[in-house]
Amino acid sequence: MTATAERLLKSSARQSYDPEVDIDWSAPVDPSLWGMQPERMSLYGTELWDGLTKEQRITLSQHEVASIASVGLWFELLLMQMMLRDLYDDDPTGAHMHYALTEVADECRHSTMFGKSIAHFGVPAYGPPRKIHRLGRLFTHVVRGPSSYASILVAEEILDTWQRELMKDERVQPITRMVARIHVLEEARHMTFARDEVRRQLEGLSRAQLVVQQNLTAQTCLMVARSLVNPKVYASVGIDPRDGRRAALGNPHYRATMQWMGEKPLAFLRENGLLPENQERVWRASLLLG
Ligand SMILES: [Fe+2]
Ligand SMILES: [Fe+2]
């Protein structure tokens, strides 16, 4: 554990970004470029999609990427609270605490970066639906132990898979690609840390405690995954949010995208006993499991 933390600290010192200076925020927005890769959008391939012009699809992509970024930001605020609470009893002289604080500092920069990026494109920071927003506050008090790092890992890794593809896509806005590149680089360390914490914190749990952790992980991930695309985004191109939501949930392309995003973290949870068969219904509802 300390060895991992020390390695991650060295890597952080070697390579980190400052989005304030590493992103050219004064660059003009090219309206012909996409906000995200169209094939990964929630309505791609549906009848509603067929009814949109290319300009409308690009507009929707700008709103959909803002929704995902704002939900990422919202979850970063929650995970920072969970991490800081976890650190309360930690040893301030040890590498473990030093790295965890470095990670919180990364997340502070990320949240600023996501917020600035949404503002740059002049679209709303949709965030999760209101009910989930309220529920999130409660979750930071309830989610403890391995489930906190397991849900951090799932949130980080689903976004990582999506951003790794997005950052290479030349059809996408350069600022959004750079935001993704910065995030991917720094999140690789966070995911290593999260996997380590999950394994460590699972040690010595009783059967009953494990069941609680399995439930908390599934419920937190359900909340995050289902919130990524706020249905209000559809109104930006004149689609009723309820119609858009219904079409997205039934869209085989979108379901495949969500499963692609969930593949790696869910395999990890399974290997570590955090995704038992009796929880699969919840995981399927999150769309991360087929
Ligand atoms: Fe982050
Ligand atoms: Fe992170």
Task: Identify the nearest ligand to the CA of 111 by its number.
Answer: 1
Q: Specify if 153 maps to a domain.
A: yes
| DSSP assigned state of 93 | T
What is the distance between the alpha carbons of residues 290 and 288, in angstroms, rounded to a whole number? 7
DSSP result, 126-180: --S-HHHHHHHHHHHHH--THHHHHHHHHHHHHHHHHHHHHTT-TTB-HHHHHHH
Cα 202 to middle of ligand 2, angstroms:
20
Domain that holds residue 269: 2-22+32-285
- pLDDT by position in tens, the chain (length 290): 689 999 999 999 998 899 988 999 998 899 999 999 999 999 999 999 999 999 999 999 999 999 999 999 999 999 999 999 999 999 999 999 999 999 999 999 999 999 999 999 999 999 999 999 999 988 888 898 999 999 999 999 999 999 999 999 999 999 999 999 999 999 999 999 999 999 999 999 999 999 999 999 999 999 999 999 999 999 999 999 999 999 999 999 999 999 999 999 999 999 999 999 999 999 999 999 99
By CB atoms closer than 10 A (0-12, 13-18, 19+), residue 217 is: buried
Residue 115 lies in a domain: yes
Which amino acid belongs to residue 120? H
- Is 79 a member of any domain? yes
Q: What is the rounded CA–CA span in Å between residue 195 and residue 279?
A: 20
Q: What is the 3-state secondary structure (H, E, C) of 19-84?
A: HHHHCCCCCCCCCCCECCCHHHCCCCCCHHHHCCCHHHHHHHHHHHHHHHHHHHHHHHHHHHHHHH
Q: Cα(265) to centroid of ligand 1, in Å?
A: 16
Domain total in the chain = 1
In a domain, 27, yes or no: no
User: Would you say residue 198 lies in a domain?
Assistant: yes
Q: Which residues of 48-69 are buried (b: 16+ CB within 10 A; e: fewer)?
A: bbeebeeeebbbbbbbbbbbbb
Residue 290 lies in a domain: no
In the structure, ligand 1 is a single-atom ion and the residues with CB under 5 Å from it are 107, 110
- Measured from the alpha carbon of residue 112, the closest ligand is 1
Query: Domain with 38 in it: what CATH number?
Result: 1.10.620.20
**From the CA of 228, how far away is ligand 1's center (Å)?**
15
CA dist 184 and 165 (Å) reads 10
Cα 185 to middle of ligand 2, angstroms: 10
142 within some domain: yes
Phi then psi for residue 286, to 5 deg, are -75, -10
What distance in angstroms lies between residue 93's CA and the mean position of ligand 1's atoms?
A: 25
